[in-house]
Structure 1
Amino acid sequence: MSDATLTLDDLERDALTELVNIGVSRAAASLRKMVNKQVILSVPSVEIVTRKSAASLIGQRENEGLIAVHQQFEGPFSGRALLIFPESNGLSLVRAIVGDEMGEADLADMEEEALAETGNVILNGCLGSMANMLQHTLKMSLPGVRRGNSTILFDVLDNTSDQSFVLFLYINFSVQDRQIRGYIAMLMDLPSLEKLKKLIADFIDRVMA
């Protein structure tokens, strides 16, 4: 395993950031239609890190419980996508979607379903758009919701964590003036990461041709 596999040169990073931004913009447009409210998503950074590093990065930033919507994806590159929020931000997102007039008990009942649907829209929009730009398609599983700290969400205690990596995106949400922060993480093994890098290289060649 070479360090080169874990790193992106400037051109690769710019191309990947552009792909991600297009994907997130389309996801925001889909979410906007769903909630009928102004939605802005921005991605300030894109990194490839180990699972342990990703867990550590979130653990350092967040001092409360986390909630994640997760989906498996399969195609030319495969893995598991996570949309992660601090729990309080997740509740703020649900309130932005369903409205402030809903009572706490009803809100709690709807929270998991609303988060799963929101995560489905964002992850499908982001990954589907990226795959489309790379001239491929991805098959996405149904969304699930998981709670816990970053170590649990990234399964860093299992035996495979040293062989898999995370395409890690820090994102800012704005839903009708509510500021919500979160993370998109795509967990991939080394072969999938290498395939993604090859597809990015092909994309750069097409753009620059």
Structure 2
Amino acid sequence: MSGNTLELDELERDALTELVNIGVSRAAASLRKMVNKQVILSVPSVEVVTRKSAASLIGQRESETLIAVQQQFEGPFSGRALLIFPESNGLSLIRAIVGDDMTEADLIEMEDEALAETGNVILNGCLGSMANMLQHTLKMSLPNVRRGDSALLFETLVSGGEESFVLFLYINFSVRERDIRGYIAMIMDLPSLENLKQLIASFIDRVMTENE
């Protein structure tokens, strides 16, 4: 990160990665109850980047249309969370959740509803448990589904110029032996990111005190 972004030191980055991984494992547990099948979710990397960088990171990796489930979150740190899949992976995820015995037409008809519900479970599980471990709560809006390329998803959602940054997570899913890749992006302004950094510092202090 450079310019007016916030640097996270190694300890803060490790703590954030740990918080995120606990969050997604709780989300996976909720999803497992919903689909009654084994769900494995992992986050191999966590980065803080500008909106432009986030759009280009996805754009370089994905050539097809993207599907995003988005929710607003408010609390000590506020912003907009997106769960993003390449379109084919989104359909694959829905098929894994609802089963293989549905026709293509039925699948497409219920796709947005199923995606919104899945996104809600994952984003709420991830953000809710992160906030909980930071000893706060977040209020989440209802989910909605958007389609487009990465530039559209990141550009049209945020006003306020370049003062918006993205907590960007690669995620790997495994549901019913299907491997599905996706991304979670939390778009926040600088004050929210600074608040999150302070909460992470307090979390590290608490963990170290407990381990002494």
Using structure 1 for the length normalisation, give the TM-score: 0.97
**Residue 106 of structure 1: aligned partner:** 106
Distance 1:179 1:79 in 2: 29
Greater alpha carbon shift after TM alignment, 151-160 vs 64-73 = 151-160
Q: CA deviation at 1:169?
A: 0.1
Counterpart residue type for residue 57 of structure 1: L
Partner SS, residue 101 of structure 2: coil
SS in 2 for 1:154: helix
Per-residue CA distance 1:57-107 (angstroms, 9 max, x = gap) = 000000000000000000000000000000000000000011111001100
What CA distance in whole angstroms lies between the structure 2 residues aligned with 1:126 and 1:83? 11
Q: Deviations over 1:15-40 (max 9, x none)?
A: 00000000000000000000001100
SS in 2 for 1:110: helix
- Name 2:7's counterpart in structure 1: 7
Listed one character per residue, the Cα deviations across residues 140-180 of structure 1 (whole Å, up to 9, x for unaligned) are: 00000000000010016976341100000000000010000
Report the residue type matching 2:50 in the other structure: T
Q: Which amino acid aligns with 1:176?
A: R
Residue 4 (structure 1) shift: 7.3
Contact 2:27 2:124 (8 Å CA) reproduced: yes
Q: What is the distance in 1 between the residues matched to 2:51 and 2:6?
A: 12
Alignment match, 1:30: 30
Unaligned runs of 5+ in 1: none
1:184-205 deviation per Cα after TM superposition (whole angstroms, max 9, x unaligned): 0000000000000000000000
Written as runs of structure 1 = structure 2, the 5 A alignment for 1:86-165 is: 86-155=86-155, 160-165=160-165
Q: CA deviation at 1:6?
A: 2.4
- Measure, in 1, the Cα distance between the counterparts of 2:105 and 2:5: 48
The amino acid of 1:10's aligned partner reads E
3-state SS, counterpart of residue 155 of structure 2: coil
Contact 1:94–1:115 (Cα < 8 Å) also in 2: yes
TM-score, structure 2 normalization: 0.95
Q: Percent identity?
A: 84
In structure 1, distance between residues paired with 2:164 and 2:72: 15
**Contact 1:52–1:161 (CA under 8 A) maintained in structure 2:** no
Distance 2:174 2:158 in 1: 35
Aligned partners of 1:196 and 1:36: how far apart in 2?
A: 34
Paired residues, number: 208
Q: Which runs of 5+ in 2 are unaligned?
A: none
**2: CA distance, partners of 1:21 / 1:158:** 26
Match of 1:207 in 2: 207
Q: Distance in 2 between matches of 1:178 and 1:103?
A: 19
Distance 1:158 1:176, change over 3 A: closer
After TM superposition, which residue ranges in structure 1, 4 or more long, deviate above 4 angstroms? 2-5, 156-159
- Over aligned residue pairs, what C-alpha RMSD do you find? 1.4
Q: 2: distance between equivalents of 1:108 and 1:157?
A: 25
Matches of 1:183 and 1:37, distance apart in 2 = 21
CA distance in 2, matches of 1:8, 1:96: 37
Once residues 20 and 207 of structure 1 are traced to their aligned partners in structure 2, the CA distance between those partners, rounded to angstroms, is: 16
Does the aligned pair in 2 maintain the 1:31–1:122 contact within 8 Å?
yes
Separation (CA, whole Å) in 2 of partners of 1:157 and 1:40 = 29
